[in-house]
Amino acid sequence: MQLLHAPSWPHLSFQTSDRNSKGGLLSLEKCLQLSTANCSFQPQKLERSIWVSHKRNFFSFCATKATSVEAGSSAASSGTAEGDVLKALSQIIDPDFGTDIVTCGFVKDLLIDEASGEVSFRLELTTPACPIKDMFEQQANEVVARLPWVKKVAVTMSAQPAKPIFAGDLPAGLRRISNIVAVSSCKGGVGKSTVAVNLAYTLAGMGARVGVFDADVYGPSLPTMVSPENRLLEMNPEKRTIIPTDYLGVKLVSFGFAGQGRAIMRGPMVSGVIDQLLTTSEWGELDYLVIDMPPGTGDIQLTLCQVVPLTAAVIVTTPQKLAFIDVAKGVRMFSKLKVPCVAVVENMSHFDADGKRYYPFGRGSGSQVVQQFGIPHLFDLPIRPTLSASGDSGTPEVVADPQGEVAQTFQNLGVCVVQQCAKIRQQVSTAVTYDKSIKAIRVKVPDSEEEFLLHPATVRRNDHSAQSVDEWTGEQKLQYGDIPEDIEPEEIRPMGNYAVSITWPDGFSQIAPYDQLQMIERLVDVPQPTAVQS
């Protein structure tokens, strides 16, 4: 057992090598529960993120907290204007990440003119569609204006440039897309395209750069649901790429715009066409690409999910009991591919007539999905003649009637998608990190409570690629002594929701799936944290 001391809080000591019944290290909460009894700081003052969802490993928590406490307190205690402003802004908590906007790194370009009392800064959010950006702007203005020496505050809002969080060889067309959201149903005709298109226009209305890819080659619906001026996709002959068409600022690609009508093709051919249409399109910078998936869970859908680094999936269903069985198939497919299903839309759930609400297809299948598979959000869409009419007229309902009840439901779905994608990105990008102060790789697998530490050399020695293990004979090519004990990773980047790519100083790029990392021997004797040279 080893006791560890936080650099600037010597009174804190945590028992870190205790293992739980499954052999994993004790959770951060347990460590803190064990240890805070004897210490003078108050756990309720911990950032919410520590106690809520992003329970960081204790070591890094101490290191970061100690550093930020030191930096913050020295700035604050020396009474610098910058310290005052940052302290004021750190009262604003991002409810999704559970931490303050300064720690989130949102505050940029801080300029202070002490003589005139003028302060200006930019808040760079993770997405332009952030549903609470106005609230952030207002609060930032207010908290800084409250400082006694401040006379004028100028806040500008911006969003991070679009970029995928996934490392690896992405097709060129997908390299500048932040989030790819699949809208899927397990059988045809349930309203999947209606949901995909209205969701896309809702996200665009929230300020995001959006594209829609209609992956249904057999029955493309996009051409009847939107009215772009140019109804044919153009080719860039030099680059041999496809230029999406555009309607009200949303980029659109569909086989129905390829001048071919619906296709008569066999499965593998369909996969090829979809793959080519999607990956050779010049999507440019997008915050969200919504994919209207072909119905079902067969090979075409599987191949598509494997080509595209999906961030999340939305499942569309109808209320019949039988639909539940189909939905279950879809959820399992995404779960196998490690794509989180963030919402279920129960379409055609009811209609209102004669002052009464009718449920012609029964009730309860949507909530059964939510309960059984732990999908956090369920949205009901009523049967509406206007929804059907807008599908045929070429103007999505959320554009035709932006204040209506349907638009409100899509607004809620849009907010859910934005928040869930941001959370997934945060979880994935912090799932595997290198903590230089204790020379350990820290693993916090998304959607799991488990956190543990690994010795870098052990991770490198456990590489299962062809460079390390003979694929045919299983013979170990990489020898224990080939890897120096003190090797440190140069870079760790997520590869989808299932693995990370680790670059080592010898140039070797190791793909380490979470499943594999979970099997590796864990670090028990954790080294004392040391000051990290930046």
The CB-side HSE value for 483 (13 A sphere, CA atoms) comes to 21
Residue 299 to residue 321: CA distance in whole angstroms: 25
For residue 356, the minimal CB distance to ligand ATP (Å) is: 18
- Residue type present at position 299: D
- Residue type present at position 216: D
Residue 405 has φ and ψ, to the nearest 5°, of -65, -40
Neighbours of 134 (CB within 10 A): 10
For residue 179, the minimal CB distance to ligand ATP (Å) is: 21
Q: Does 391 bind ligand ATP (CB under 6 A)?
A: yes
Q: Does 319 bind ligand ATP (CB under 6 A)?
A: no
Among 49, 179, 347, 409, contact with ligand ATP (rule: CB under 6 A): 347
Nearer to ligand ATP, 11 or 262 (CB): 262
175-188 burial, b if ≥16 CB within 10 A, otherwise e? Answer: ebbbbbbbbbbbbe
- Name residues whose C-beta falls within 8 Å of residue 202's C-beta, 6 or more positions apart in sequence: 398, 407, 410, 411, 413, 414
Size of the site for ligand ATP (CB under 6 A): 20
The contact mask relative to ligand ATP for 360-389 (x = CB under 6 A, - = no) is ---------------------x-xx--xx-
Dihedral (Cα; 19, 25, 30, 36), 10-degree rounding = 100
Among 96, 100, 124, 216, contact with ligand ATP (rule: CB under 6 A): 216
For residue 291, the minimal CB distance to ligand ATP (Å) is: 12
Nearer to ligand ATP, 319 or 391 (CB): 391
Nearer to ligand ATP, 262 or 477 (CB): 262
Stretch that binds ligand ATP, among 1-9, 182-190, 273-281, 334-342 (CB under 6 A): 182-190
Nearer to ligand ATP, 190 or 512 (CB): 190
For residue 359, the minimal CB distance to ligand ATP (Å) is: 13
Stretch that binds ligand ATP, among 15-23, 124-132, 181-189, 235-243 (CB under 6 A): 181-189
Among 173, 191, 309, 446, contact with ligand ATP (rule: CB under 6 A): 191
257: its two tokens? 């715009």
243: which strand partners?
Answer: 234
Q: Does 189 bind ligand ATP (CB under 6 A)?
A: yes
Residue 383 to residue 280: CA distance in whole angstroms: 37
Dihedral (Cα; 403, 404, 410, 413), 10-degree rounding = 80
Q: What is the 3-state secondary structure (H, E, C) of 270-283?
A: HHHHHHHHHHCECC
Stretch that binds ligand ATP, among 72-80, 190-198, 301-309, 511-519 (CB under 6 A): 190-198
469: its two tokens? 């293990």
Among 7, 24, 43, 219, contact with ligand ATP (rule: CB under 6 A): 219
The contact mask relative to ligand ATP for 271-300 (x = CB under 6 A, - = no) is ------------------------x-----
Residue 241 has φ and ψ, to the nearest 5°, of -120, 165
Is the Cβ–Cβ distance between 443 and 514 less than 8 Å? Answer: yes
- Relative orientation angle of helices 299-307 and 321-336, to the nearest 10 degrees: 40
Q: Does 102 bind ligand ATP (CB under 6 A)?
A: no
Q: Does 346 bind ligand ATP (CB under 6 A)?
A: no
Residue 493 to residue 515: CA distance in whole angstroms: 16
For residue 295, the minimal CB distance to ligand ATP (Å) is: 4
Nearer to ligand ATP, 384 or 425 (CB): 384
Interface residues toward ligand ATP, by CB under 6 A:
185, 188-194, 216, 219, 221, 295, 347-348, 381, 383-384, 387-388, 391
